[in-house]
Structure 1
Amino acid sequence: MPVEAEKAYYRFLVLFFTCFLTFGTYFCFDIPSVLQEQFQGNLTCPNSTVANGTTDCVEGLEMTPEQYNLLYAIYAWTNAFVVVMAGFLIDKLGNCFGVFMFSFLSVLGSTIFALGAHFKGTSYLLPLMLSGRLLFGSGNGSLAIVQNRIIAFWFKGKELALAFGLTLSFSRLGSVLNFFLTQSFETRYGIQWTLWGGAFLCMLGFISAIVVSVLDKVGTVQLGVAGAILEDSKKVRFQDIRKLPLHYWLLVFTIMFFYNGVFPFVADASKFIEDKYPGYSQQEAAYITGAVYDSSLVLSATVGILIDYVGLRGVFAFGCAVLTLPVFALLAFTFVPPLVSTIWLGISYSFATASMWPSIPLVVPQATLGTAMGLATSVQMIGTGLCNLIVGQILGTKSSEMKIPLWRWQGVMMFMFVNTIGCVLFAFALNIVDCQQGGILNKTKQSQVAQELSPEPTETSPLLEEGILAKRGQLPLSRGTEAE
């Protein structure tokens, strides 16, 4: 009789709770984007006047644009320096350690960030909020690594892109709800309670982490691979980074340049829409910005199913990079409704995430997947952090400029355009190398089925499949499994 962990429902149960690991953290991440005017608003508005239903003064934390963008940059820098070591520790110490440690850091960071808002007008505000974002970044970026590692183990060789797409959809559901609900919540309860609400959602992720760790541990024991995983983890060395293939590095830089155009844009998009396009309120601008994530939420699972069926991950990565180029040109030089551009960007973002990130487990061994994911996240966040700082410099540093000049925003959009060109070039190189090295990424569904029927084992055969066969007596047990 097959054990429970071999059944499809078990891995989808793991997937369900894994999806909620980052729901609250994604909600928290872009709260500053929705409340950018409040973060940069005046401490008090004693003599504000009302015109056309709006006031000429927004009460807030009185951050400069540079300080505001630093909130995103510190998050990115933290990921850049922490996630590599975090991925290595996850490979060495296991998924249970990862989900507990990094979900706790997310809760702690969001709590300190919310606490900092109570010190507005003092010298403590910025250090507290930056410290909160630093801890939050340490947890959230690393939590995404262990999330991907769990999904790659349970779904490698099966519905891998679908599983990645569903985790992204649930994460982006947090982002979407943030863009729809945060502005109204802040209007009613204030910025402090809004930030505390985000911290509470991160606590729900910590509860999910407990459930996921139990399911993952029980499942690997039932499959008879817990001992093999432990044995492999002992052999992981940090020096293994040097053995990562060219495929991997081209994927990393393709991801970095694509995200350089998405995350810094979303961070400032609400303010950009208000400044350039007449007639949009802060809440309407937030809704339009959120369409990037709305599209991702709706499409990610469907796109994942498509890529699982078709294959051609490298081709999809190149295609979505090319199709992103017109977005920033439209935003910079036309007055086409911004919703067109944000939906367009969301569609290409859905294809990018479903084709790029699930490709990493195909080109690196399972035992070093955490380290590889951590390094990829690090490089991506270094790029994003630098872009946040550059955007802050382009926009200027005077908080008194309630409306930033259009020429500055055009400079920002062209900066995003240049990053997308970089993504196109690396994606093109990735496809050339993939073609030269056997087409690992661009295998079609038919060729994958043919390879699975081949009696010759592959170097990256999933440990899960090996354990299942051993459990059924069709293979000798893997090393270390005898202890189970």
Structure 2
Amino acid sequence: MTEQLSKKLNDSKATRWMALGVVAFTMMAAYYVNDVMAPLKTMLESDLGWISTDYGYYTGAYSFLNVFLLMLIWGGLILDRFGIRFTGKLSAILMVLGTALQYYGITELADSNTIILGHKMGVFIASSGYSIFGVGAEVAGITVTKMIAKWFKGKEMATAMGVQVALARLGSQAAYSVAIPIAKHFTLATPVFIGLILLVGGTIAFFAFSVLDKKLDSQQDVTVESEEEKFSIKNVGTILTNPGFWLIALLCVLFYSCVFPFQKFASELMVSKYAIDPDFAGSIVGLPALGALVLTPIFGGVVDRKGKADTIMIIGAAMLIFVHFIYAMPAVNNWLVAVVLMIILGIAFSLVPSAMWPSVAKIFPANQLGTAYALIFFIQNIGLWGVPNLIGWVQKQYCIVGTVDGVNQYDYTIPMFVFTGFAVLSLIIGLLLRVANKKYGYGLEKANIKK
């Protein structure tokens, strides 16, 4: 009976990679929408009258509901309780609704002078939509991660996670590359509308994947799972008392706080410090995503076959320190340096995720994975909410150096030192994780593929 059940749908390499491709398209669309407004920061200020604090408020709104209403944690509990199919469909629908509201805020309400919570109504509504989108996107992220852990267990798990991340980064690269040209040729809101259409397609794709996943569950005979495999609310306490959880979570929030919030402001940095053409700046900022397309699966393959996950995370954190420290140097202002640093950032951006997310599946059993990922993403979202607001405030208080056509110009020295500080902390946490790995035997340095 056991031998018969072992011949499952995901034993077919073609089938499991096809399933991955379907859900990866959904995440590609999500990443496009997540980053599509970043290259438009200057246009938001010149065309819609936004200021730096408005943009920081909007960017931080992505994580607001996840942090303050604990939506990510609820999403993780729902995932472990009701499964991949239900949670994935729910998160995809939330992304569509949130993006539609965001589009409404920057079109129909763009000229409204009504003030809500200190911001114009258009800013507030766009930010509210982005916050709803953020709930859907983050829950979709943990859902897809658990899907990979389920479909690729004992197989090419890190490689699969790397491919999924790489394809998602392709969505980011597309956003950074096409947002400004499309906005100039059509309207400021057109890039967002394209993202809305992509998300509708992504939602349909996830519904299609659900058919495959349901068939896999029927082959696994999930109705007879053992008591120890069932989800329990007690799992939350078990997760929170695991030292590996806190180290991975802290490394995650510190590392990603150095990357995603930085990219939201990086197009303006390219223009203001390195005198790069605004139409080209977004493409440079998108280089890490383009590099991740190739490198993340490669590094994931290394983790699968050779292990060394914690070592890879430490190397990535160290590279991040170098990148942000050089960006902070006022005298280093050659545009070629900016490009090279973005390429190095892309390598670091590929190293850490390729090792970090498979490591969670080594620290926790399958029935705790959804909640564990959700709690980690929740802590990550504290940084994704707080850091953009912090940088926006720092810019307003200390970094304005003049105005051009009524738009503020900023010196990015202090913000880049802030990012450097976060990178240093991420390296320290990576070293502590190495100590914990030896003490508790997580097996982070061991290969994923079972021979």
TM-score of the pair, normalised by structure 1: 0.84
Say if 2:60 is the partner of 1:69. no
Alpha carbons 1:6, 1:223 under 8 Å: kept: no
Query: Structure 1 residues 106, 7: CA separation in 2 closer, same or farther (over 3 Å shift)?
Result: same
Please state if 1:283 is matched with 2:286: no
Compared with structure 1, are the counterparts of its residues 139 and 304 closer, same or farther at alpha carbon in structure 2 (3 Å cutoff)? same
Q: Which residue of 1 aligns with 2:409?
A: 404
Query: Is the counterpart of residue 420 in structure 1 residue 423 in structure 2?
Result: yes
1:372 maps to 2:372: yes
Is this contact kept in 2: 1:19–1:167, CA < 8 A? yes
The answer for the alignment partner of 2:92 in structure 1 is 103
| 1:37 aligns to 2:42 (yes or no) | yes
CA distance in 2, matches of 1:166, 1:77: 28
**Does residue 152 of structure 2 align to residue 163 of structure 1?**
no
Residue 435 of structure 2 corresponds to 432
1:239-318 paired onto structure 2 within 5 Å: 239-241=236-238, 244-278=241-275, 280-318=276-314
Structure 2 CA distance for aligned equivalents of residues 227 and 116 of structure 1: 49
Tell me if structure 2 keeps the 8 A contact 1:244–1:364.
Answer: no
In the alignment, what sits opposite 2:83? 94
Are residues 229 and 381 of structure 1, via their aligned partners in 2, closer, same or farther at CA, if it must alter by over 3 Å? farther
Show the 5 A alignment for 1:454-473: none
Deviations 1:71-128 (CA, angstroms, capped at 9, x unpaired): 1111022233211110011101111111110000000000010011121121331221
How far the C-alpha of 1:237 sits from its partner, in A, is: 4.0
Shift of 1:277: 1.1
Deviation, structure 1 residue 7: 2.0
What is the one-letter code of the residue matched to 1:310? K
Q: 1:257·1:422 contact (CA, 8 Å) conserved in 2?
A: yes
Q: Which amino acid aligns with 1:173?
A: L
Q: Counterpart in 1 of 2:14?
A: 9
Range 412-421 or range 216-225, more displaced: 216-225
CA distance in 1, matches of 2:142, 2:279: 33
SS at match of 2:189: helix
C-alpha change, 1:93 and 1:115, in structure 2 (3 Å) is same
Percent identity over the alignment is 24
Provide closer, same or farther for how the CA distance between residues 220 and 326 of structure 1 changes in structure 2, counting only shifts above 3 A.
same
Measured in 2, the distance between the counterparts of 1:314 and 1:444 equals: 12
Q: Which residue of structure 2 lines up, in the alignment, with residue 359 of structure 1?
A: 359
For residues 448-478 of structure 1, the C-alpha deviation after alignment (integer angstroms, 9 at most, x for no partner) is 75xx6xxxxxxxxxxxxxxxxxxxxxxxxxx
Give distance in 2, aligned partners of 1:221 and 1:33.
43
- How far does residue 438 in structure 1 lie from its aligned partner after superposition? 2.6
**Cα distance in 2 between the residues matched to 1:3 and 1:324:** 41
> What's the offset of the Cα at 1:234?
5.0
Q: Distance in 1 between matches of 2:28 and 2:226?
A: 28
* One-letter amino acid of the counterpart of residue 249, structure 1: W
Match of 2:110 in 1: 120
Deviation of 1:31 after TM superposition, in Å, equals 1.3
Q: How does 1:158-197 map to 2 (within 5 A)?
A: 158-197=155-194
Residue of structure 2 equivalent to 1:50: none
Matched, 1:331 2:320: no
Shift of 1:28: 0.7
The one-letter code of the counterpart of 1:303 is F
Checking the alignment, whether the CA contact within 8 Å between 2:320 and 2:348 is kept in structure 1 is yes
Check conservation: 1:5, 1:222, Cα contact below 8 A. no
Paired AA for residue 340 in structure 2: V
Structure with bigger gyration radius: 1
The count of corresponding residues between Structure 1 and Structure 2 is: 427
Query: Helix, strand or coil: the match of 1:404?
Result: strand
Could you give the per-residue CA deviations for residues 247-296 of structure 1, whole angstroms, max 9, x where no partner exists? 12111101111111101110000011111112x21111111111121111
SS at match of 2:409: coil
Q: Name the CA distance, whole Å, in 2 between partners of 1:173 and 1:157.
A: 27
Query: Partner of 1:79 in structure 2?
Result: 66
Question: What letter is aligned with 1:69?
Answer: G
User: What is the alpha-carbon distance in structure 1 between the residues aligned to residue 240 and residue 256 of structure 2?
Assistant: 25
CA distance in 2, matches of 1:130, 1:69: 10
Q: Is the 8 A contact 2:304 2:447 kept in 1?
A: no
Task: Give the partner amino acid of 1:7.
Answer: S
When the two chains are superposed, the root-mean-square deviation of aligned CA atoms in Å is 2.0
